[in-house]
C-alpha cells in the first residue's frame, strides 16, 4: 500500500508541475535557446503561439519535447502553464 501511495503522490506532483506556471528565473535557467537559420530545403516555419513565420536570426526557445517557439512567446506561455502548446507534454523538467 505504501508503494502505491508513493506512485500516486508522484503522479499528482507531476500534474501540478504541468498545471502551474514557472517563474521567470526557472524559465531563463532551463529553457534551451537557439537562433533560427532556415535551411534551403526547409519550408516556411511559424511559431504556433503567435502564428508569425520565423525569420533569419529569430531567438527560439526549445522545449524538452523538441517543439520550438519564439523565445518570448513560449516564455510567456510557460509563466502560465508548464506544458507544450502542441503536444501537451510537460514543457520543462524542474
Per-residue pLDDT, 41: 73
74 touches 22 (CB < 8 A):
no
Domain count, the chain: 1
At 1 the pLDDT is 59
Residue 13 within any structural domain of the chain: yes
Ranking 10-19, 29-38, 80-89 by mean pLDDT, the lowest is: 10-19
Give domain status of residue 94, yes or no: no
- pLDDT given for residue 57 in this prediction: 96
Three cell numbers, residue 72: 518570448
pLDDT tens for residues 15-53?
A: 545 578 999 999 999 999 999 998 877 778 999 999 999
Domain range for 17 = 2-80
Residue whose grid cell is 508541475:
17
Q: Is residue 85 part of a domain?
A: no
Contact 36, 54 (CB under 8 A): yes
Amino acid at each position: 500500500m505504501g508503494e502505491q501511495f508513493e506512485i500516486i503522490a508522484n503522479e499528482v506532483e507531476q500534474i501540478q508541475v504541468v498545471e502551474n506556471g514557472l517563474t521567470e528565473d526557472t524559465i531563463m535557467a532551463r529553457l534551451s535557446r537557439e537562433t533560427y537559420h532556415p535551411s534551403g530545403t526547409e519550408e516556411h516555419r511559424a511559431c504556433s503561439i503567435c502564428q508569425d513565420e520565423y525569420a533569419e536570426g529569430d531567438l527560439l526557445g526549445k522545449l524538452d519535447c523538441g517543439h520550438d517557439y519564439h523565445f518570448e512567446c513560449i516564455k510567456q506561455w510557460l509563466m502560465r502553464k508548464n506544458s507544450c502548446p502542441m503536444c501537451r507534454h510537460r514543457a520543462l523538467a524542474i
